[in-house]
Amino acid sequence: MPIPAQALRHEYLRHNKKFPHVWCPGCGNGIVMGALLRAVSRLEIDKDEIVLASGIGCSGRMPTYLDFNTLHTTHGRALTFATGVKLANPSMNVIAIMGDGDSTAIGGNHFIHAARRNLNLTAIIINNSIYGMTGGQYSPTTPFGSKSTTSVYGHIEHAFSIAELAVTAGASFVARATVYHADLIDRLIEQAINKRGFAVVEVISNCHIQYGRRNKLGGAVDMLTSFKEQAVSVSRAEKMSHEELEGKTTIGVLADREIPISTEEYKKVREQARAQKEKV
């Protein structure tokens, strides 16, 4: 039984902010925000024990509206600030919320090294295939051949997959969902927050204003319908051939493994060093 939207509205949104929010009608960011709130309320974590860090972009507006400990940081540095908070106070549940340009273009190095370092963080990446807020420039996840303001004749570079990058970089938990599968997003976020280690949840979202309109993909409803058609679950994708998976999106948990986490290893090193010093 999901928690009613009315209860979430009263409990987790800031009452002194202007609503409705600034995102365009039908924007996937709102759906992800709802999923995050449902996950947090189901886990029954206190509001003061959560730190939400974001970078710049449409997704960067999210901490403004939510009543957690929030950080609205510089472009691409959401994970950097989140790392700092986690090292200073490891008891906090730190969630970094980023867009695709934020996490993989300007914050690309931070992202892969945070995954390699394996701190106990949760990263939610909203992938809408474009820089929406700054005017529709192409981002690292813009598909080949699609149009944007900086690629009016079609994009000549190839997109990369964020979730698979995170798997290769060594994150402990990697999952992907689309905004059509909203109940899946909140289950995955719930698992990601519970997971000890670096957890990445990539959410394929719609930007029908900057991306959909230029590529004639229709409005929010049409884009959500196409996500529904493109999505294939991980278990089904294993049985499909490489050709059949062309143009499809795999959703579900892509990687879930136990790797020693950085803060605990550091604690061990500290204790070792202290013991040696006492001997001397």
213 binds other proteins (CB under 8 A): no
d(CA 36, CA 18): 20
Considering only CA atoms, which of 28, 117, 30, 116 is closest in space to residue 65?
30
Edge to edge, the sheet with strand 173-178 lists 69-72, 50-54, 93-99, 122-127, 199-204, 173-178, 249-256, 231-233
* Token output for 247: 């143009």
Is residue 61 within 8 Å of residue 23, measured between CB atoms? Answer: yes
User: Could you tell me how many residues of this chain bind other proteins (CB under 8 A)?
Assistant: 33
Site for other proteins in 8-67 (CB under 8 A): 8-9, 13, 19-21, 23-31, 33-35, 38
Q: Which of 166, 193, 199, 220 binds other proteins (CB under 8 A)?
A: 220
Q: Which is nearer to other proteins, 52 or 165 (CB)?
A: 52
**221 is an interface residue for other proteins by CB under 8 A:** yes
Does residue 207 belong to the site contacting other proteins (CB under 8 A)? Answer: no
| Residue numbers 223-262 binding other proteins by CB under 8 A | 224-225
Q: How far is the CB of 13 from other proteins (least distance, A)?
A: 7
Q: What DSSP element (H or E) covers 130?
A: strand 130-131
Q: Is 144 in the site for other proteins (CB under 8 A)?
A: no
Q: Counting contacts by CB under 8 A, is residue 183 touching other proteins?
A: yes
With contacts defined by CB under 8 A, name the span among 75-83, 119-127, 194-202, 221-229 that binds other proteins. 221-229
Specify the residue, 28 or 252, whose C-beta has the smaller distance to other proteins: 28
H/E stretch holding 7 reads helix 5-12
Rounded Cα distance between 239 and 237, Å, is 5
> Which one, 35 or 96, has the nearer CB to other proteins?
35
Residue pair 173/195 in contact by the 8 Å Cβ criterion: yes
Angle at 73 between CA 93 and CA 60, to 5 degrees: 85
Record the tokens describing residue 60, joined without a space: 């960067």
* Residues making contact with other proteins (CB under 8 A): 2, 4-6, 8-9, 13, 19-21, 23-31, 33-35, 38, 179-180, 182-183, 186, 219-221, 224-225
